[in-house]
Structure 1
Amino acid sequence: MPGAKCGGCGRFISTLEGAKCGKCQMVYHRVCVGVPTKANVALNWRCPECKKNVVRDNRPDTPVRGSIQSPTKEAEEDPAAEATSTPSNFGASSRAEVSTVELSPVTGSDLGQIMKELRALREDIHMFRREMEVEMAELKSTLGTCNTRIDSLEARVDVLEMQASSVSATSVDRVVEELRRELNDRDQDLLSNDIEVSNLPEHKAENTAHIVLAIGRKLGVAIEGRDIVSAERVGGRQLNVSGPTGATEARPRVVVVRLARRDLRDQLLTSARVRRGATTADLDLPGPAQRFYLNERLTKTNRQLFRRVRDAANLHGWRFVWTKQGRILARRTPADRTQRIRTEEDLSRIFGSANDTA
């Protein structure tokens, strides 16, 4: 009978502990109904609920039932006394009969059954108490573990808060500035094969690659078409007013050239420094001949910084400001030490504060 519950205590019953009623088919623990553990349960065995509903017979050991009681011995021996009894005595005897009917005696077998049930109930209570004590001990152990982990987490949070409070805004700004500097250096490395040619007259349907080849021949550097990865004008068109008529003409945009080899770029830059003052003559460009310039291609950050360095150098009388391999260099006189400028702090340190440099 697996999965059945006891009709008395409501707990699940195993096969060896159960006793099945032959009338109502309810299942009980042997302990709950007072059946010995090793005794065989008869097929016509009745549970306590069915036993109390069995109609009593007239055997001598049958309890007094709630029916009209037989006359007492005194009434049988003295019928005259019964006849001459007053109404008040009659009412008293009636009340006595009613109380006798309600208080039926309990037999020894029923009392023993009740005692057995009480003992079984006490054992169940003790078992439940032991189970609760075990569960409470496990719960206390779990709570202790949780408290320990919470304490460790609070300690770690306190350490992190102390570390966060100790880090000042200045140190954070320093780290951010260092990261920006590293990103700028990486971007500059990507432009190591590029040059910029400025102040070249611009016209429609021009061939920038052909212009670069002509510049190479003019500077004495042998450049072939396969050495040019790309050549194009970049930036937006700029307009300026020139001439007495007040007409507006476009300022030529910069030609950005990417070469296949870095040594070829270095040769062009070196030749441009040697032949300083080269013009657009013999380059098949429209308009009068004018001077053009070759420089390294810089990132936006380095280009802005280079412009500020040149302005500060002109203001403080520094004679030499140039770029090499993407680095900005400056020197007051040929005998002085070369200064490398990477950030605004370097600019302020070398040329003074921002107000003095402006």
Structure 2
Amino acid sequence: MAGMTSTGYTTALLETAVAAAIRAPSLHNSQPWRFRLRDGGIEVLVERDRPLPVAGHGDLGDWAAHLACGAAVFNLRLALAAEGVPPRVRLFPNPDDPDVVARLEPDRPRPATPAELELLAAVPRRRSSRLPFFPEPVPGEIRWRLVEAARAEGGWLDLVVGTAAVDAFGELARGANRVLERDPRYRAEIAAWTRHGPAPDGVPARAGGPVAEPHDLLPQRPFGDRTRAPGRDFEAEPLVAVVGAAGDTAVDRLTAGQALQRVLLTATGAGLAASMLSQPIEVAAARERLRTALSRFGSPQMVLRVGYGQPAWPTPRRPAAEVIDMAVRSG
């Protein structure tokens, strides 16, 4: 079977799979992952020298890195399935090495399913859109598919529906954003990850949305300096979706990352645009208010803004070769 030896995956297949994995989303496009071939399996590691000490850490531990690595694991799964060698996934396979967050080992060979191929085709087209969306509503059938996408990965997705509910969420999100922006370290972190020239990571200023206005319903990160026409509003009633997991452990966050990526790829395949709105997750009090408002026992892990919109600017990625470590063998 191509891509496999009698002892597991090959280096060539690792490179193919990682090319898809690095297209996963990460907070501020920080790309906190590394990959390696070990004893025939592909391991995903958190890269500790790419931290987000304010937005991605704080009271949440390695929340942002685990969510991003979970999304990368989902892309790896799709790429390996497309080669006919789908993996079994073990999360945190070595208690003595918490930096290894996942290990993918060859499962029984089989052809990829049409759904897997459709999701993989969406990987290079998925981008975060920080621009206003069109007023056209997302149809109920597509909303159901997004909910089912999260459920298929062991997560959940709740839609914030109705003017009153969306307004209440907007108030919560703006309040969380004000808390964050009062911290000079947070503002410095945003500036540090904003790119005004060529770079392999971070958010290009041109990919940022228009500068936020006081009357906007939802907050925007200040990645760019683009102004909008006078009197021009952001969309008044966006579709807001909350992705969560059963709990709030590191395993739950990796699970939520895989669910998040399946939701995003499902949205992309349906012709939708999406962006992530994590301020209510980053502030503990806001996160708890959001959980209570949703009547969930599980933990919210990410908020999405979803709708129809114009194509978004792509964000750069480090080359796959830069995030692949040399193959190692135990013993």
Interval of TM-score (by shorter of Structure 1 and Structure 2): under 0.3
Q: TM-score scaled by structure 1?
A: 0.18
Relative contact order (C-alpha < 8 Å, sep 6+): which is higher?
2
Between Structure 1 and Structure 2, which shows a larger proportion of helix residues? 1
Q: TM-score scaled by structure 2?
A: 0.19
Structure possessing the higher radius of gyration over alpha carbons: 1
